[in-house]
Structures are given as C-alpha cells and as structure tokens.
Amino acid sequence: MSSSSVPVSTLGVPRIGPRRELKAALESYWAGSTSATALLDAASGLRAASWARQHALGITHIPSNDFSLYDHVLDTSAMVGAIPAAYGWAGGNVSLDTYFALARGRAVASADACGHGHAGAAALEMTKWFDTNYHYMVPEFSKGQAFTLASTKSIDEFREAQSLGFHTRPVLIGPVTFLKLGKSADASLDPLALLPGLLPVYSEVLRLLAASGADWVQIDEPCLALDLDDATRAALRCAYDVLSRAAPPLRILCTSYFGGLNGNLDTALRLPVSGLHLDLVRGAQDLDRAIAQAPADLVLSLGVIDGRNVWRADLAAILDRIAPIVDQRGIDRVIVAPSCSLLHVPVDLELETTLDPELKSWLAFAVQKMDELRIIGRALSEGRGAVREVLEASGRAAAARRASPRIHNRTAAARLAQATPDMAHRHSPYPERRRRQQAQLGLPHFPTTTIGSFPQTDTVRKARAAHQKGTMSDAAYDTFLHQETEAAVRWQEEIGIDVLVHGEFERNDMVQYFGERLAGYACTRHGWVQSYGSRCVRPPVIFGDVFRPAPMTVAWTCYAQSLTRRPVKGMLTGPVTMLQWSFVRDDLPRDQVCRQIALALRDEVADLEQAGIRVIQIDEPALREGLPLRRAHWKAYLDSAVACFRLAASIVGDATQIHTHMCYSEFNDIIDSIGAMDADVISIETSRSKMELLEAFTSYRYPNEIGPGVYDIHSPRLPGVDEMAALLDRAQERLSAGQIWVNPDCGLKTRRWEEVRPALVNMVAAAHRLRAAQ
C-alpha cells in the first residue's frame, strides 16, 4: 500500500458470486451430491476471484474474512467457540458439520465422521442484520459462558489471500456488537458481562493476524449506529483499550455503518484505534464534528459511496465534499470507502443485458461501485485532471437522470400533491362496517381462510421458467395457470374454507409481481442479494414516479370468484412492503415514494371492489422490519406507514372487508400503529409462540377481527385438530370469540400439497369444533 496515493477500500463484498455460484455449491453439498472438498474448493475459488477482481479494479485495502459459507455472525460464534451445548461440540476447531448444524439444524441424532454421536438440534435463531434484508444467526450464550479460539478462519483466509499475492485487511465483527447481537435463555445474563472473557480470544486472533503479516484489521462495530446506553459505551472503551494493546504494530480500523454516530460520536472518536470509518451517506451530519474533533493522527475512512443502494454516484459532488478534508488531513490520514460493506448490493450491473440502457446508465452494483471508489481515490491523489472524462460522464449521468422524463410523471406527481387526509378514512367506524360486512358476507363464527399462496410446486415453477424462456406459449401458460387456480378454488370449496383465495400461482414473488406491473419500477435478471445462507432475493428498483398503468390482479381474482359463490379474497402487497423490499430512488423522500405506491394500490383496490370482490387483503409483512435503527425516528416512520396503508385501503365502501397480514414475532412496539391501520381483519403469525404474541393485542384491547395463525407453515409437521383447537382456546382467553378468524401463520407457497391438504382439512375441523362448542 503506497503512501503516495489515497487508499481505497470496499469494507466487504458480495460472497454469493456473480451467478450465485455459492448457492449452487452449498445446496448440492447439503443434498449430499457433492463432497465437502468440492464445497470448500468452490468457496476458495470465489474468494480468489473476488480478491483478483478488487485488485484489478484498484482497491488497495482489500478485505479478507468477509467471505462466509453461511453467515459472518455465525463465523464469529465459531471463532470464539460460542457453541450451545445442544450441538454436542467437544472443543477443538468447529467442524463443517457442527457449523451447518448451527445454521440449519440437525434433523435426527447422527454420528459424525469421527464417530461422535450428535443429538438432533434446531438451528440457531435467525434475525435481521440491523435494518437490512440480510439475516444473521443469533449467537446464544449461557451462564458461565467460556470462550476459546475455535476457528482460525480469519487467519486462514488472510494467508490464503497472501499465498495468491494479495495483501488484505481482515474483517472481524467487533466484540461489543457481537455480544449485543446475542441472546441467552437465562434472562438474568447480560451478554455484555461476558466481555472480559471474550477479549482474550480476540487478542489472540489479532496476535496471530499480526504474526501472519497483517498491518491493518477492520473491526466492525455497527452497534455504534444504534442508541447506546452508558454501559455499552464503557464496554467499547474497555474493549479497544485491550485490543489496541494486543498486537501493537497491527492497526485497528473501527467501522460503524448503517447510520450516523450521533450521540456516540465522542465515544467513537476517543477509542484508542488507528482508524475510524464513518457512514457519510446516512450519517453525513457527523462529518463536520468528526473533522473538528478527530485526533490529528486518526485515519478517517470516508464512507461516501452508498453501499445500501444501487444508484451511480455523482463523483464530482463527492469530491467537492471530501477533497478539502484530504487537503487538511493529508492523504495518509484518509481512506475512501463505501458507506458499508457492498454485501447488500448485487454483484455486477454488466450482467444486466436486457435492462433499459438509459436506466442502466444511472445504476451501479458492487463492481461499478468499486470503480467509483477507485476514481475518487485517483482524483484525490493525482488531481481531478487525471480522471476528468470519467468525472464528466458521472456528472452527465446524474444530470440526465434528474431531467429524465421517465422519472417524472405529471399525473402521479399531481395525484400525490392532491391526496387529502380524508382519503385515508373509511366511511364509518369499525362497528358499523362490521355490521355491513356481516350482512354482505354472512360468515359463520370462527371463519376460516388462508393467507394467499398455495404450493409453488415443481410443475408451477417449471411452467413459469418455460414460459420465460419462450418454450411455453403465452396461451399454454395461461391455460395452465387457469387450471391450477380452478383446482385450488374447487378444493377449498370442497373442504369448506369460508373465504377463498386464488392461490397466487401466477406470481413469482409477492413484490416482483407488482414491480413488473407498476410504472416507475424495474426488475433485474441477476440482481441477487444474499438474504440468508444460500437464499438470495432480487429486489426490484424503484427509479421513478410510481403509478399503475393497468389493473394488476383483477383478472385472476375475478376468474377465481367466477367459480364459486363463496367470497374470494383479492391479494395485494402493501405499500410499505413494496417499498421495504425494493431498492428505492434516492431523489425523493421515502415516505413520498410510499404514498405513490399507496395511490397505485388504491386504484387496484377500487377496481377489485368494482368487479364484485368483497374481501381484499393488503399484506404488510415488512411493516415492522422497516422500523428505523434509532427510536427518535420511529414515530415519523410508523405514522407514514399507517397513513400509506390507509390511503391504499380506504377507498372501499363499508361492506367491503379489508384484511391485512403480518408475519413476524413481535407486536408490542407497533401495536398502536396496527390499531391505527384499522384493517377489518388482521392475520398474524402466532402458532410457534402458542398465542403469546396475542398479548399485545389483548392489552391494547384491539377491537377489530384477528386471525392468529394456528398452523406453523415453516415446519413440515402436520398439525392435528386437537392441537389447533387448543390454540384457538388459548386465543379465546385473550380475545372475544366474535373476533377470531382461523388461518395458517403465513402463505403456503413453500409447502407441498401433500402437507397442505391434511393440514387445512384439520384446520377446518378445528374451527367446526369451536363453533359447535358455542
């Protein structure tokens, strides 16, 4: 790393590979069709390619140990030997078998290659990584938890890169963030109390890295972007006091991302580290104070390229902001970086050969972002003249995007401006609506329904793929989907479900389906981002004003309704979820984008009602996960989320029943907002918690109807009638009988018909039993 130019880093890069090679390697290993060696070879091939690519693109601080076979938090649990007793780990290096047991569970008792017996065990709990759509495996600590070095992955991968000729900056999750992300079955155990026992392992890792030749190590403490109490701030000081002395020549870069440091800025600036990374995309407000207060010899890593979004940067504008800092501090006191690891953006825009060229010229995926970082670094080191053409091109693209007619739609903008608060109100309060809905729908007590999707079987997936490839004609595909839908409707009628669904066979994904039909949205072919383990998602891109050129779901819903006299529920993905699971334009406030989506959905709701659909469900599974990291921002977010939902829903008459659906395990923080959404019926995931999650609704005295899930659709296990009836009894202890609907926890698309059929038959039987007992 020469000192005559500004270093450039990535903080971390996508691991899955440009064509999801890691997914293929993992899944064939799990299926038993390839060996561990084949998996490990594929993984090292991906690492080598990624280091080489970064090197070729001019990255000077190339990360190592940012790769993971499953999850980097799980890697950290393995590194420090935080392996719960249930996994039968007997010390030593954590084996691949134990690692995947932690990640995915171990179905039955088994013996490993050395003949050690293993009991069956569930996977570690998984939860969202800060406010991203990446999920990590939650570390589990026990009382008297001891830590020991049980995986040398960070050192091995540093050396692996070294042997290929790449000098890397190893990445570790910081000890304080690691502890804070963990949990313990024993409520009296404060994970932070484990810090003294954890630091010796970290110190040992740092010593081994230094001995192997590392000069910088990147230690990620994204907890700095959260609201922290004094104890956590003290823990950070204590941790870095110890770590900075562990292997003195090794320089520590402490990184925080996903938001500003705000009240934690002083703490961060005073840590005894050599470098501090700042997220200047979300935490731009920190910069002036950081510059004013940073010790003169602290290296500042300036996170100027957005690691959370896919927009091409305006490089000249970034240079205007940071060039004075470089002039003031000197080029050896600055590193150019993305705001966070590039893990959260797709790999390479060049693979998008069918994307509209104009839109493409506004985008940057990980590879393109690396190039932007290099250009910034060069401009800072050699002067802007050295990269004039590129800077001009980036400025032109930014100007063209601002002025493009594709982004701005007069009608959409006018509708947004004209939306009035009364549009977000139903005609009558809930008790009156309930009377009218009962009169129109005539449903029994404990009405039964499902959440929307039915199994996406191999046949369905194959037909979709064939249609996409062009080997199945539009007409043949259409006939196929009609047959699937008809069969699903007939079967629901036969087993006696009260409110039917059409089954969502025509949908690839609940967000993409609508993204493909709304103006202002674009979908990519290869824009995959890791969600967890081998699972990836392909978020659509919202690039312009959103509106609905034509009805999106009316034909399928009406077809299903034409087959039966029972009500068929129209199924829509709500505005907040559409926003949350997309890459969102950065030139309009998010709440405005959300309102545009709400207005587009409102049109759909109106058309469904007009077409005679009497029940409409607007799914909002992502509502809670959109909660900002800092509590101070919660109210603004929730108010806007509620307003958008209501804007989409409130166009219908009193007799039309609006449902919503949410599936995650915590309602306490958002129960006021759920109440304010005022959906006539909400279905939620509750079966695993044995109805305990209803507590929030009980204490709130939630007045509208609720379908607490009685069938855990995440498990292949068949739920029995007794079991579901018992869950409904528990629900009756917490809600009034007239409020309760009977439904599964979530959509059934991931299950097989052989599982779904008997489960729903049992569910209907459970509802009948409750009706009879009335």
Min dist CB 636 to ligand GLN, Å, is 25
Min dist CB 601 to ligand GLN, Å, is 14
Q: DSSP for 65-92, please give it.
A: S---SS-HHHHHHHHTT---GGG---SS
Distance in angstroms (rounded) separating the CA atoms of residues 498 and 569: 10
Closest to Zn ion by CB, 537 or 563:
537
Q: Does 570 bind ligand GLN (CB under 6 A)?
A: no
Distance in angstroms (rounded) separating the CA atoms of residues 222 and 98: 27
Q: Which residue has the tokens 């674009």?
A: 522
Among 260, 452, 520, 707, which residue interacts with ligand GLN (rule: CB under 6 A)?
A: 452
Name the 3-class secondary structure at 478. helix
Q: Does 137 bind Zn ion (CB under 5 A)?
A: no
Tokens describing residue 342: 């590039």
392 is annotated as contributing to ligand binding: no
Question: By rule CB under 5 A, what string of x and - marks binding of each residue 645-684 to Zn ion?
Answer: ------------------x---------------------
CB 358 within 8 A of CB 312: no
Distance in angstroms (rounded) separating the CA atoms of residues 526 and 353: 10
Q: Does 451 bind ligand GLN (CB under 6 A)?
A: yes
DSSP state of 424: G
Site for ligand GLN in 509-528 (CB under 6 A): 510
Q: Does 608 bind Zn ion (CB under 5 A)?
A: no
The answer for residues whose C-beta is within 8 angstroms of residue 413's C-beta and 6 or more apart is 545
Q: Which residues are catalytic?
A: 714
Which range, of 61-69, 285-293, 450-458, 484-492, touches ligand GLN by CB under 6 A? 450-458
Q: Does 660 bind ligand GLN (CB under 6 A)?
A: no
User: Closest Cα to residue 566, out of 448, 668, 660?
Assistant: 448
491 is annotated as contributing to ligand binding: no
The answer for residues whose C-beta is within 8 angstroms of residue 61's C-beta and 6 or more apart is 1, 7, 8, 9, 10, 169, 216, 218, 335
Tokens describing residue 180: 């804070």
- The H-assigned helical ranges of 565-694 are 575-580, 590-610, 634-649, 671-677
Residue with the shortest CB distance to ligand GLN: 747
DSSP state of 57: T
CB atoms inside a 10 Å sphere around CB 552: 21
Closest to Zn ion by CB, 570 or 621:
621
Pairing, β 140-141 against β 183-184: parallel
Q: What is the distance, to the nearest Å, from the Cα of residue 732 to the centroid of all Cα atoms in its chain?
A: 34
Among 260, 377, 544, 747, which residue interacts with ligand GLN (rule: CB under 6 A)?
A: 747
Q: Does 326 bind ligand GLN (CB under 6 A)?
A: no
CB 362 within 8 A of CB 312: yes
Closest to ligand GLN by CB, 338 or 503:
503
Q: Which residue has the tokens 């600036």?
A: 269
Look at residue 588 and give the partner it binds from ligand GLN, Zn ion, none, a contact being a CB closer than 5 to 8 Å depending on partner kind. none
Among 663, 670, 677, 725, which residue interacts with ligand GLN (rule: CB under 6 A)?
A: 663
Q: Does 746 bind Zn ion (CB under 5 A)?
A: yes
Min dist CB 451 to Zn ion, Å, is 6
Positive or negative, the Cα torsion across 285, 219, 342, 390? positive
CB 527 within 8 A of CB 538: yes
495 is annotated as contributing to ligand binding: no
Q: Does 101 bind ligand GLN (CB under 6 A)?
A: no
Min dist CB 30 to ligand GLN, Å, is 24
128 is annotated as contributing to ligand binding: yes
Min dist CB 652 to ligand GLN, Å, is 19
Among 239, 265, 325, 746, which residue interacts with ligand GLN (rule: CB under 6 A)?
A: 746
Does an H or E element contain 710, and which? none
Closest to Zn ion by CB, 613 or 746:
746
Q: Does 749 bind ligand GLN (CB under 6 A)?
A: yes
Min dist CB 264 to ligand GLN, Å, is 34
CB 685 within 8 A of CB 727: no
Min dist CB 531 to ligand GLN, Å, is 12
CB 219 within 8 A of CB 253: yes
Q: Does 661 bind ligand GLN (CB under 6 A)?
A: yes
Q: Does 259 bind ligand GLN (CB under 6 A)?
A: no
Amino acid in the structure at residue 674: I
Q: What is the distance, to the nearest Å, from the Cα of residue 654 to the centroid of all Cα atoms in its chain?
A: 35
Residues making up the annotated binding site for L-homocysteine are 451-453, 504, 619
Residues making up the annotated binding site are 20-23, 128, 133, 451-453, 504, 535-536, 581, 619, 625, 661, 663, 685, 746
Residues making up the annotated binding site for Zn(2+) are 661, 663, 685, 746
Residues that bind ligand GLN (CB under 6 A): 451-453, 504, 510, 571, 619, 621, 661, 663, 746-747, 749
Residues that bind Zn ion (CB under 5 A): 621, 663, 746
